[in-house]
Amino acid sequence: MSDGQPTLTAPGSIGRRRFLKVSGAAVAGSSLLTMLDARQAPAQLKGTTLRILTWSHFIPAYDVWFDKFSAEWGEKNGVKVRVDHIPHLEIPARMAAEFAAGAGHDIILNNSTILARLYYKSLLDMTDIYDQLGKKYGGWIPAAKSPIEVEGRIYGIPMYYILLPMLWRKDLFEANGLKPPDTWELARVAARTLKPKGNPSGIAFSHCNDANLNWRSLMFSFGATETDASGDNPTIDTKEMRETLRFAKALFDEGMTPEVFSWDDASDNRFLASGIAGWIHDAISAYRTTESTNPPVFKNTFVAMEPAGPGGKRVSVSAPIVFLAWKFSKNPTGAKEYLTHLVDNDKEGMIQSTGYNMPFLNDNAKKPMPIIGADPKLQILQDFPKIVAFFGYPGPYTPQIQEVANLFVLPDIFTRVARGQSIDDSVKWGVGEYRRIFAKHKRA
Amino acid sequence: MTGRSQSGGPDASSARAAAVSVAVRPRHRRWFEGQTSRRLAFGYLLLAPAALYVALLVGIPFLFSLYLAVSDANVGDPVARFVGLGNFRAAWEMDTFWDALRNSIVFLVVAAIFKSLLGTSLAFLLLQSFKGKKLVRALVVIPFTLPISVSVLSWKWMYDSQFSVINWGLNKAGLIGAYGSESWPVWLGQPHLALIACIGVNVWRSFPFSAIVLLAGFTSVPTEVLDAARVDGCSFFQRFRHVVTPMIFPILIIGFLFDTVFTLSDLSVVYLLTQGGPGSATQILPVLAYQIGIQAGSLGRGAAIALMLVPLLFPALFLMLRNLKRRDW
C-alpha cells in the first residue's frame, strides 16, 4: 500500500519493478520470435489432438503427401493428428452434423461450397493469421477474401484454388486451319468446324460443379455480372447476359452434342482423354488424366489462357478451397499453428498436386511457379491469378450465391436456352429464382 | 397399557370383536388388482419398449422437423424465429418444387407398377422347382443388399454418355447408331430418358424385395386350396385373382406400404445419378429438400419441402391400412 508520498524517480532511471517488467517482456518476446522463426509450436500443444476433415483430392498423390505432412507436424509438436478424407460433396452435410452436435473435427476443408458466411458465428476468427501470412508472403490475391470475410473479419484460411482453363487439341486445330482459342469467338469457330468432323467440343450443362464454374466464366467474360458489388442484389437481367445466352445457344447447337447435359465433373476428362474432344473448358485434372491414359492425345493437348469475351475481358471462375476451424474446437491454438505451417509449405503442396493447386498468396504466385512454371504447356496458367473470380462476381461469395450454386440455377438458365426455350423466358425464370433466394436471405 | 387389558377382560374381548369385524369387512380392490387390469397393465408393459422406440426414433424427429418447417432455422444459427407457413409458401412459389412434386409422383407410380410386375414374375419363377434354386434365390437379393452408392455408381457408368455398355449392346444389336449419331441415347442428358434411367435403377434395386415379400405370401397359401381351385377348372390367372391374392392381401399391403415409403423417400439414386438434372427433369422432393436444407443451409425450408411428402404418403397409407382392417385379417 502506498504511504501517499510521491515516489521520486529520476528521469531515465529504471526502478526494480520496471526492470522486471521490461526484462520479462523482452525474454518472452524473444522466445516467441525464436519460436516463430523456427516454426515451433507453443509447448501447450503437446499432448493435444487435432482432427482434420478434408476432401479426396483429384490428385491422389497430394493426399498421400498431405497425410504424411500432417502426421510429421503432429510428431514434431507432440500433437496427435488425425486426417479424414471424404468426397467434397459430403462436406456440407458433415459440417451441419458437427455444428448440431457441437463436436467433431477441429479443421474442416470447404471446396467450392464455402460455408464460412453461413457458420461464421461458430467459426474461429482467423484474421490474425490471415494478416500475418499476407504480410509474410506479399499479400493475398484480390479474390482471396471474398469467400471468407464477414463484417471485416476473416473466418478461414484460403489454401488454393482450382483453375478451369481451355484445354484444346493443337493437332486438330492446325489440321483445320483454326487459330488457338484465345477468344470465345475463336472457340466457337473451332467448335463449329470440328464437330462435323467428329470432334465436338464440350462444356457441361448438367447439375455439376463444372457447369456452375464454366458458364460463369463465359458470362463474366462477356461483361455480365451475377450480383452488385455489395452482393445483396442479383444483376443477371442485363443485355450482356442475354448476349452470353445467345452465344451459348449457338455454341451448343454448332459445336456440342447433347451428352453435355449428362456430364458429371469427370465426364469432360474422359471426353478429352478419349481423343474425341476438340476442346473442353476444365481443370487440369483432365490434362493429367489424358497424360496417363492417352499419351498421343496428351502430346497434342494444349492449355490456353481464359478466352476473352467480345470486349476483350477475361474472367476465370475458379473453385476455391479454404480451411475453416470451429470455435468449439478443443484445440484452437493447434488449428491455427497447423494452418500457418501448411501455408508456409504451400509451394510443396503445389508440387505434390502436380500444379493443380493454385496459390492464393502473391509471393507463391510469382513466376516461375513450381511444376507449371517448368512445363511449357502449362506456363500460361501463371497468368491466371490476375483474372480469377468466384461465384457472385463482382460481389462477394455470399450464402445466397451459395444457394443459387447448390440449386444449379445458372446452369439451368443456360440449359433452358440450349434446349430451345426463349432467352427472355429463361432469364425471367432465372431472375425469379435469384430474387426468391436473395429475398429469403435478406429476411433472415 | 392397563392390567385388565393384559388379563383379557371385557375390554379385550370387544377389542378382538372389533378386530375381527375389521378383518371381515369387504376390501375395495384397487384398479390394478383385477385380473383384466393386470393383464392390461402387463400388455402395456410389453408394448412400452415399442411405444418408446416409436416416440424416440419417429415421434421426436417428426416433431422436430415440424418445428424446423415453421422456423427460419439455418445450419449456422442455433436460434430460429417462428415464420408460420412462410417456408411452405416459399416452396410453392418455386417452379422447381412443382417439378419435383410431379416427378416424385411419376417416380412412385411408374416404379410401383414395374416393381409389382417384375416382383410377381420373379416370385412365380422362384416358386418353381429347378436345379440351383437356392443359389438363384440368394443371387436375386444382391441388388437390394449392395451398398447403394456402389450400385448406383455402377449404373452411372452404364449410362455414361460415351462409354455406356447399354448403348454398346444396343449398337451391336443394330438397334441404335454409333456414338455421335442422332439415335445414340444420352441416358442422363435427355429429360425423359434421365427420369426413366433413375426409375430403372430404383426398380432394379427394389424389385427383389417385392419378389421376396410375394414369395413369402405365395408359400403360405395351402396347396390344397390351389388344388381344389384347379379341380374346379380355374385357370392360372383365375387362381391368382380369386384365390391367391385375397389370401395374401395383408402381405401385399404391407409390402406395398414399405415400398411406397422407400421409393418416395429415396434420395440416393437421383442424387448420385443426376442431382436432379438436366434442368429439373429428375428433380424429386427428397433431393430438393437436401439441396436446400443441408447444402444451402436453409433447414427451415428444407424441412418444409421434406414434409410435403407427408400429404402424399398419409392418404395412401390411411386408405391401405383401413382396407386391411376392414378385411379383418
Task: Say if CB A246 and CB A193 are below 8 A apart.
Answer: no
Band (B75; pLDDT cuts 50, 70, 90): confident
Q: Please give the Cα distance from B235 to B237 (Å, whole number).
A: 6
Nearest to B76 among A121, A261, A440 (CB): A121
Q: Please give the Cα distance from B25 to A206 (Å, whole number).
A: 86
Q: Please give the Cα distance from B183 to B180 (Å, whole number).
A: 8
Put simply, the answer to whether B186 touches A261 (Cβ < 8 Å) is yes
Band (A392; pLDDT cuts 50, 70, 90): very high
Q: Does A387 reside within a domain? A: no
**Same domain, yes or no: A146 and A67:** yes
pLDDT digits (tens, 9 = 90+) for B93-136: 889 999 999 999 999 999 999 999 999 999 989 988 888 888 98
Band (A16; pLDDT cuts 50, 70, 90): low
Q: Does A3 reside within a domain? A: no
The amino acid at residue A346 is: D
Q: Please give the Cα distance from A84 to A357 (Å, whole number).
A: 20
Q: Does A257 reside within a domain? A: yes
Band (A30; pLDDT cuts 50, 70, 90): low
Put simply, the answer to whether A406 touches B292 (Cβ < 8 Å) is yes
Task: Say if CB A44 and CB A50 are below 8 A apart.
Answer: no
Q: Residue A365 carries which DSSP code? A: G
pTM to 2 decimals? 0.83
Nearest to A259 among B76, B189, B277 (CB): B189
Q: Please give the Cα distance from B100 to B114 (Å, whole number).
A: 21
pLDDT score at B27: 65
**Same domain, yes or no: A97 and A70:** yes
Provide the shortest C-alpha distance from residue B161 to chain A (in Å): 6
Q: Does A395 reside within a domain? A: no
Cis? peptide before A258, omega within 30° of 0: no
Task: State the CB neighbour count (10 A cutoff) for residue B13.
Answer: 10
Q: Please give the Cα distance from B235 to B257 (Å, whole number).
A: 29
* Partners of residue A93 in chain B, C-beta under 8 Å: 290, 294-295
> Which residues touch B147 (CB under 8 Å, ≥6 apart)?
none
pLDDT digits (tens, 9 = 90+) for B232-269: 999 988 988 899 988 888 888 888 888 888 898 888 99
Band (B2; pLDDT cuts 50, 70, 90): very low
**Same domain, yes or no: A269 and A376:** no
Calculate Rg over the CA atoms of chain B.
31
Q: Please provide residue B106's backbone torsions phi and psi, each rounded to the nearest 5 degrees.
A: -60, -45
**Same domain, yes or no: A216 and A275:** yes
Q: Please give the Cα distance from A406 to B302 (Å, whole number).
A: 13
Grid coordinates given for B28: 375395495
Tell me which residue range forms the domain holding A141. Answer: 46-163+320-382
Average pLDDT over residues B154-164: 94
Please state the domain extents for chain B.
91-326
Q: Please give the Cα distance from A135 to A127 (Å, whole number).
A: 12
* Partners of residue A206 in chain B, C-beta under 8 Å: 188-189, 274-275, 277-278
Share of chain B above pLDDT 70, in %: 89
Can you say whether the dihedral through the CA atoms of A142, A147, A151, A154 is positive or negative?
negative
B residues 180..199 contacting A (CB < 8 A): 180, 186-190, 194
**Same domain, yes or no: A135 and A102:** yes
Share of chain B above pLDDT 90, in %: 50
Band (B1; pLDDT cuts 50, 70, 90): very low
**Same domain, yes or no: A62 and A135:** yes
pLDDT score at B4: 42
Calculate Rg over the CA atoms of chain A.
25
Q: Does A183 reside within a domain? A: yes
pLDDT score at A206: 95
**Same domain, yes or no: A153 and A217:** no
Q: Does A390 reside within a domain? A: no
Put simply, the answer to whether B187 touches A258 (Cβ < 8 Å) is no
B40 versus A182: which is more confidently predicted? A182
Share of chain A above pLDDT 70, in %: 90
**pLDDT for residue A24 is more than 90:** no
CATH of the domain at A277: 3.40.190.10
Band (A18; pLDDT cuts 50, 70, 90): low
Nearest to A402 among B274, B280, B296 (CB): B296
* Partners of residue A399 in chain B, C-beta under 8 Å: 296-297
Q: Please give the Cα distance from A7 to A20 (Å, whole number).
A: 18
Q: Please give the Cα distance from A332 to A344 (Å, whole number).
A: 18
**Same domain, yes or no: A302 and A417:** yes
Average pLDDT over residues B53-81: 88
**Same domain, yes or no: A134 and A187:** no
Average pLDDT over residues A239-268: 96
Q: Does A240 reside within a domain? A: yes
CA-nearest residue of chain B to A409? Answer: B279
Total domains in the fold of chain A? 2
pLDDT score at A32: 45
* Interface test with chain B among A150, A210, A262, by most B beta carbons within 10 Å: A262
CATH number of B91-326: 1.10.3720.10
**Same domain, yes or no: A375 and A434:** no
**Same domain, yes or no: A283 and A180:** yes
pLDDT digits (tens, 9 = 90+) for A206-242: 999 999 999 999 999 999 999 999 999 999 999 999 9
Task: Say if CB A360 and CB A140 are below 8 A apart.
Answer: yes
pLDDT score at B6: 45
Q: Please give the Cα distance from A100 to B68 (Å, whole number).
A: 13
- Across the A:B interface, residue pairs with CB atoms under 8 Å apart total 125
Helices assigned H by DSSP within A78-111 = 91-101
Average pLDDT over residues B307-317: 85
Task: Say if CB A234 and CB A227 are below 8 A apart.
Answer: yes
Provide the shortest C-alpha distance from residue A373 to chain B (in Å): 34
pLDDT digits (tens, 9 = 90+) for A77-111: 999 999 999 988 889 989 989 998 999 999 999 99
pLDDT score at A26: 53
Put simply, the answer to whether B276 touches A408 (Cβ < 8 Å) is yes
Provide the shortest C-alpha distance from residue B263 to chain A (in Å): 22
Q: Select from A272, A234, A257, A259 the least CA-distant residue to A410.
A: A234
pLDDT score at A6: 36
**Same domain, yes or no: A302 and A337:** no
Helices assigned H by DSSP within chain B = 3-7, 10-24, 35-54, 60-69, 86-92, 95-127, 133-140, 142-145, 148-158, 165-172, 191-220, 223-231, 236-239, 245-264, 268-273, 285-290, 299-307, 309-326
**pLDDT for residue A271 is more than 50:** yes
Put simply, the answer to whether B295 touches A93 (Cβ < 8 Å) is yes
Put simply, the answer to whether A113 touches B295 (Cβ < 8 Å) is yes
Provide the shortest C-alpha distance from residue B98 to chain A (in Å): 13
pLDDT score at A19: 55
pLDDT score at B14: 54
pLDDT digits (tens, 9 = 90+) for A128-184: 999 999 999 999 998 899 899 999 999 999 999 999 999 999 999 999 999 999 999
Q: Please give the Cα distance from A361 to A133 (Å, whole number).
A: 8
pLDDT score at A45: 86
Q: What is the ipTM of this complex?
A: 0.80
* Interface test with chain B among A118, A261, A443, by most B beta carbons within 10 Å: A261
**pLDDT for residue A21 is more than 90:** no
Grid coordinates given for B272: 448420385
Which of A382, A397, A421 finishes a domain?
A382
Q: Please give the Cα distance from A204 to A225 (Å, whole number).
A: 20
Q: Does A98 reside within a domain? A: yes
**pLDDT for residue B26 is more than 70:** no
